[in-house]
Structure 1
Amino acid sequence: IRVQLDLLEREAEKNNRDRNHGEAILLQTVARRKYLEKMDQEYASFSNTVKTILQSRETWRQHVMGPVGELIQVPSEYAAAIEVALGGSLSYVVTDTSESAGQIIRWLQSHRAGRTTFYPLDAIRGKIRDEEESRAASEKGICGIAEDLVSCSTEYRPLCSYLLGRVLVAETLEDALAAARRFRYRYRFVTLDGQVVNAGGSMTGGSLRKKENTFFGRKQEIQNLLEEEKRLQSAAEKLGEKDSRSRENLKKLTEKLSVCRREGQDCRMKRASLQGQYEGAERALAAKQDQYRRIREEEDELVKRRDRFQHLAETAEQSIRDMVQEGVSLDGQSFQIWDERCRSADQEVVELKIRLTREESQMDFCQTAAREAEETETAQTQLIKTLEERMKEAGTESERVQTRMAEMKAQFVREEEKWNSLSLKEQAIRGESDQFLSERQKVEKDWRQMQDASAARQKQIADREGRITAFKDQIARELERLNEWHMDEHEAESCRMEGSISEIQSYLSDTEGKIADLGSVNPNGEEEYQEVLKRRDFYQTQIEDLMQARKGLEAVIREIDATMDQQFRTAFQAVDQEFRRIVQIMFQGGQGKLILTDEKDVLQGGVEIFLQLPGKRQQPLTLLSGGERALAVIALLIAFLACRPAPFCFVDEIDAALDDANVERLSRMIAEYKKKTQFIVISHRKKTMEAADTLQGVTMGEKGVSSLITVRVEDYIKEA
């Protein structure tokens, strides 16, 4: 019972830790998902014009299918490439007909709500694919045509063909350049990391925004967070069920302790009853022994009396015989005296015989009584022996029960102390939980404020981007007006006159004459020009404000990148050291190391794994055999766990490519780290199963019905 209670205590503590950890992770996941969903619901990736259209309640809203990005589904590995390929088209609005698009454009004009591009489905036609484009898609390093890598409804397939039908996705920039040269730069190539080789030979590239700031990246992260929430909620439910089972087991152990107490009380009562029977039997035996002694004494007395009477009878008979012999010579008187003496002697002999017979009868009675007493004594002795044996058994049982009761009392005292300790811990944990809940509410409040501030900042940025777009449109219109006058900005500036008033007046007169020759003019042109200048100055001020805000954001981004770079380098060094140590253990020698592909920019670079096995030269991971790659990846996984242990690690048939010797080394390595991390291993290898503490298997005893079987190896070892 003590062992079981200890196990229940450890299990309760583990469940509490797991539950707190799971709740913390779940809260972080939910907060992150809600933040991203809020950004998605507020159309953070779109301009103000598109937001206005999507949030409108006008009658034409039913003819809006949505932005392009909302109508196609992109696999996560192609998200960056497709988003770069679509570019600004990602936020363009799709309508059912051209008439609907025209109606929305007129509404935007009347409400001065900005401008955007529309894709009417009745006017969009997909691009026809030629054989050369199909050959380009099958080139080495080319993933395929972008149109084929996305999915959408049938009605939007022409739109996908229109936007992505001439775009090919390549794995790397080198693959894209090689294919572009081979096909004379006829097609546009986009790499998986977002670098572009345009048709005609121009190239666009560099670093991309973080995934959370990209459209498809945010969609994919929301989906991943939803799946993570389901997994965490399922784990929380399992922990709740496990806690209920622990409480039920504790209740059963308490009931078992009560039963043991009742059994001890019954044993004490039974022992007292047997003690009373034993004392009664001893008293009865003493009485019988006293009675037997008295009978023996009477028997001895009777034997003595019988011997005396026999002696007297023999003496009397001898006297009679002597008297008879003497009587032969007696006379009559003497004979008469002799005859009287004879009769007296005969009478005395008869009396003696009667007394002898009576004494013999009494002696027989005493002998019978003595035999009965002996039999009774024998029976009493046997009864005493039986009672003594029962007393010994009862004493042994009583001692065992007392010992057990003492152990159980001591155990109960310890359990009460543990229970009190657990109660104190529970109170402390509840206090910490209340504090944690209070802190969590505060953190959630701060988080919501940060989300609101971030959303407001995003809205400000989007508004300013919209204003910049509007400013650019306004500037473009002003430049178009200058173009109508066949002038550019520099020419207009160069037209400013310098000199004396008379010279200017003379020039003005000549100019007026020329203007008169040209015909009528706009009388409000000068005022409009001044108004344009004012607007340009205003726009310039706005642009400077936006540039200052941009510089501030870039400084924050640089600071975050520097912190991430430092943390990554520290973690990388720790993992590299553990990886080197574990490789020597797993491969019984040899060397392994992790190398950064870009030492200057570790956040954008990658990591390569190199191994030098005993008797071999150094090779990268891709050139190793299947078993060697498996051991190397296992060593890297354990290195991660050594640097930052996780609550549990779930792996699926990682030992499939290993031989028995390597499986044994893997089992020893897992056994070494299982104190900090619980390993859940799916395996068909016997060596791996031998090292497990608990085996769980699924069997189908009945068709269509699966059963889960759990075996604790420790229990079977104890039974054996």
Structure 2
Amino acid sequence: KVNASKVEYLKNIQKNYQDYFPTIRKLMTSEKLLGPVIHEVYGPVGELISTEARYLQAIDIALGAKSQNIVVASVKVASDCINLLKKERLGRATFLPLDNLKYSSIDERTRDMIKNIPGVEGIASDLVKTDAAYGSAIESLLGRIIVASDFASGQDVQKKMASKFTVVTLEGEIFYPGGAIVGGQSKDNRQSPLSKKIEIQNLEKEMDEQKKALDAVKNQDLMSQRTLSQMVDQLKKLENQYNLCKQALWQKNKTIEDLTGKQRESTQSISVQKQKLQALNQKLERLNKELAEIETAYNQAREVAKVQESDDYAQEIRQKLDDLRLKISESQMIITQTKGEIAGFDQQIVLMQEQLTHQAARKKALAEEMAGYQNDSMKLLQLQEKLGADHDRLSKMIAAHRDTNKKSAELQKTNAQRLETLQEEIKNDNHQLIIDNDIKNTISTQLNSLQLQMNHWEENIYKSYEINYLMAEDAYRQLEAENKLDALDLSEEHQRTLREKIGALGNVNLNAIEEYEEIITRHDFMKSQMDDLKAGKSELLDIINTLYDAMTEQFKANFIKLQENFTRIFSILFEGGRAYLEFTDPSGVLEGGIELVAQPPGKRLRHISLLSGGEKSMVAIALLFSFLEINPSPFCVIDEVDAALDDHNIYRYITYLKKVAEHNQFITITHRRTTLEVCDNLYGVSMSKDGVSQLVSVRLTDYA
């Protein structure tokens, strides 16, 4: 989001041409004023080209202010734009009409030679990208500039190419054909249009990479959530199966416990019944013994009764026998009942043994099934632990991704807020700057007003007390130094006394209000005049800067031509040797001077001040003819330039003079016969004895 905001900000700067001079910006945004012509105004050079980041500084330095030049379709379009600039007083601009550009490119042989030089990156026009329609404009600006990798490589290229071309290094040094070298670091760190283009491309590329990375993280997060959801569903199914197995195992254990309890109760009941049966058998045996004893006694009693037939005794015996029979009958019934119960218990024991056997088998089956469930439960627990570990790992990964996303979102939010804050601060700073400027102007006005008022007060003080401000200040400082300020009487009574004394000094100025209104009116008028002067000054400064740039470019172009002509003519006049011109200050060609260095044949390279008189004259003649080739004149007057020349030098001089005279007219003042011989007409001035000058003329062409 921060990058998108920055890209939008940079594109807005490009769209509004805020990197260019006010004239260029106003012209490129004057679609209503230009009308249909705006479609044939292609834009500044800086907007029509692009290059790699590696060559950015070199191309910026090579173009310099030429990046502000406007490429147009034709001379007519350039004329329309210039007329608009004049009409609207928008300033000056340089135009490159595609149908009027004349330039010389580097030939193929020289290109091949340049490519074989170590450290050469290429020709500047080949290192930029532009539409084919604008190729001629770019070639005219960069077609004769060589880009080298570093200072040493640039110096090597300059030597091998005999200083024919401008060389620019990747670090920004410039080697001019005349030998001048420009380098260093500019204090102005503003970005060029080319650098903003590259920054926009880098930001858009970074935004695409961030978008891809964000999409990958989102996809990975989605896959992790899906995997986690599947794991959670599988874990829930396994937990349900585990709970069902656990419930079935609990039911089986409960059944086994119930059967075991019933078996234990049946065993206890059988044991009790056996004890009862044993007690009944013992009782039955005891009763049988008693019955036998009674029968024995009864038989004995019968025998005795036979002997002694006593009714009472017999009756008693019969009664006892009946009682015994009744007891025996009851005992037999109890025995029969007990045997029935024992038989029932035996049947129950058999059933319970069968049931116990069945339950034992069932218990064994349940134990095996329980062991299987336990194994399954162990496997489920292990799987649950594994799933739990996977769940924890995925949860940590998701939490980490969420934290990362949250931090990224917070960072984006913070950066966005920071950007908004910075934009708001910039806006506030601009607003505050305007307010501060207004306050500054207001304060300046108030200061001037206060100064006037202070001057007025000084005049009043002088008129009233015959002292000036400095005297009053000295008196105040003296009182302060003597610590007498606190001792001053500032009471109302004392002030009233002073006011009375002041009142006694004279009347109050009743015209103060009228004077104040007059001063205010005059101040407002002067302020409006000052604003107009400032606006005019700003426009004049823009015009001066434009003129300065144009003069600099024109001066450099003519200087290069002059240098080439001078070097060539010097070699002709001296029949060899070497000479060149150079700026004393390449960074300020209009303010600096020009030095002339010459090397006649057979001598060392030296400054012109070290040459002889004749050599100086020949150098001056070469320079004069160099100027004539650049800017021919209808006629030239030469005043005894051959006075210091020997015959050989005069011959070379008049030979070249005859060649130049084919296209120019010369008036030569000379006393040398050799020079007179090449003239077409001779005019001699002589003075007679009476002091009157006489003119004698001879047309040599009539005698040829």
Shorter-chain TM-score above 0.5: no
Larger Rg: 2
Classify the TM-score, shorter chain. Answer: 0.3 to 0.5
TM-score (norm 1): 0.43
